[in-house]
Amino acid sequence: MSSKPTYTVALTGLNAIDSPGPGMGVIRCLRNAESFDVRIIGLSYESLEPCIYMHDLVNKTYQIPFPSAGIDALYHRLSYIFSKEKVDVLIPNFDAELFNFIKLSERLEKEHSIKTILPSPEQFESRQKTNLYYYGLQHGIKVPYSKVIFSAADLSSIEKEFSFPVVVKGKYYDAKIAYQTEQIWQYFYKISNQWGLPIIIQQYIQGNEVNVCGLGDGHGNLIGAVPMRKLYITDKGKAWAGVTLNDDKLISITEAFVRSAKWKGPFEMEFVKTIQDEYYLLEINPRFPAWCFLTAGCGQNQPEALVNLAMNKQVVPFKSYQAGKMFIRYSSDLIVDISEFEKINTLGEL
């Protein structure tokens, strides 16, 4: 009989689709954990999120309300779920839902003993794309010069402040490169119609995109960090293959950031590395990325470390990882009986 503890972990991000949520990667890391066994409770938003039906990965799934329904609706649904399931750790995996989960985290711990490892509301807010330029200045990281645009009228001054090309970015998602003024207008309307205002105009930096998946303990210690370069990018801008890098400079930048910001929780930092070997920070995502299973594959099972941190177990920061480990994503068809689809649709759980 195993002497390892069994933890129940609830998580979101079950949409293993062409623009995948991180849930499946996190689950696979946890299923590969050496220090504990795990029972997975999936929290889904839509009834066709593939992981709902992957019973070898997810033990039970409950639907939860969309973030736009508000904190109270989420709290009531989670209270119901946690009255049915004795959950130890909760790992939210979507940018758009994080604010609600961060706000609820203390209450969930107090009332249901649910542990989380999440950034503070201030950390979460200050690394938003709209604040990133100043956040980078504050923590000594180069960020391409950016300007936040709240209305079309603000676009008139852009040509004086930027040279082409520029990147037009949505607050949460989407980014387009504009080579002339007309394109800025075009992308401004396209992105703001889809994702709302504000829009960010950012100096374009030529180079290779390199990302870091990491975990901070909230006291300034970097528990783990794995740099990865995307080798194949889909038309949605998502990595379909990538390789771990041996990049000491990038690790030092990450370490300095976590120390300075006292970052708590998982994160993905997206950088551009120029031909002069300079690094510019493009984004900080306050969650594990979809490719986080690569961290387990190269010797740093960061989701396992997160659960151990949450459970107040001693976690020794990772000192190394294997460079040259690749991930290659694939798609596959699940065969599912319609009765399962019916259950998640009508009962909201499966």
Partner 1 sequence: MKLKRSIAISDSGFLFNPITGDSFSLNPTATEILRLFQQGASESDVISFIQENYIVDKNTAEKDLQDFRDQLMHYKLIE
- Residue 252 as a binder of partner 1 (CB under 8 A): the answer is no
Range in contact with partner 1 (rule: CB under 8 A) among 64-72, 97-105, 133-141, 236-244: 236-244
Single out the segment in contact with partner 1 by CB under 8 A; choices: 30-38, 57-65, 113-121, 237-245. Answer: 237-245
Considering the rule CB under 8 A, would residue 234 count as an interface residue with partner 1?
A: no
CA nearest 233: which of 18, 5, 14, 2?
A: 18
Looking at residues 142 to 171 of the shown chain, list those that interact with partner 1 (rule: CB under 8 A). none
CA 296: distance to chain centroid? Answer: 16
Q: Where do we find the tokens 């995502």?
A: 285
Q: Find the part of the chain contacting partner 1 (CB under 8 A) among 2-10, 178-186, 239-247, 335-343.
A: 239-247
Q: Report, in Å, the least distance between residue 228 CB and partner 1.
A: 8
> If binding is defined by CB under 8 A, does position 77 make contact with partner 1?
no
Of 98 and 212, the one with the shorter C-beta distance to partner 1 is 212
> Could you tell me the maximum CA-CA distance found in the chain, to the nearest angstrom?
70
In angstroms, what is the minimal distance from the CB of 246 to partner 1?
A: 4
Helix segments in 62-175, DSSP class H:
71-84, 95-112, 121-126, 132-138, 158-161
208 scored as a contact of partner 1 (CB under 8 A)? yes
- Asked if 231 touches partner 1 (CB under 8 A), the answer is yes
Of the candidates 39, 229, 262, 343, which one interacts with partner 1 according to CB under 8 A? 229
Q: Which of 77, 82, 63, 118 is nearest to 267 (CA)?
A: 118
The only residue of 6, 246, 260, 331 in contact with partner 1, by rule CB under 8 A:
246
Kindly tell me which of 243 and 256 has the beta carbon lying closer to partner 1: 243
Based on the shown chain and the rule CB under 8 A, indicate whether residue 180 belongs to the binding site for partner 1.
Answer: no
283's tokens: 């984004």
Integer-rounded Cα Rg, in Å, for the chain is 20
Return the number of the residue (242 or 266) whose C-beta is nearest partner 1: 242
SS3 state at 225 = strand
Look-up: residue for tokens 């980014």?
Answer: 175
d(CA 289, CA 300): 14
Rounded CA gap, 67 and 70, in Å? 6
The separation between CA 200 and the C-alpha centre of its own chain, rounded to angstroms, equals: 20
Per CB under 8 A, the list member of 51, 166, 245, 269 interacting with partner 1 is 245
Site size toward partner 1, by CB under 8 A: 14
Give the span between the Cα atoms of 46 and 22, in whole angstroms. Answer: 15
Asked if 336 is part of the footprint of partner 1 (rule: CB under 8 A), the reply reads: no
Binding site for partner 1 (CB under 8 A): 208, 210, 228-229, 231, 242-247, 273, 323-324
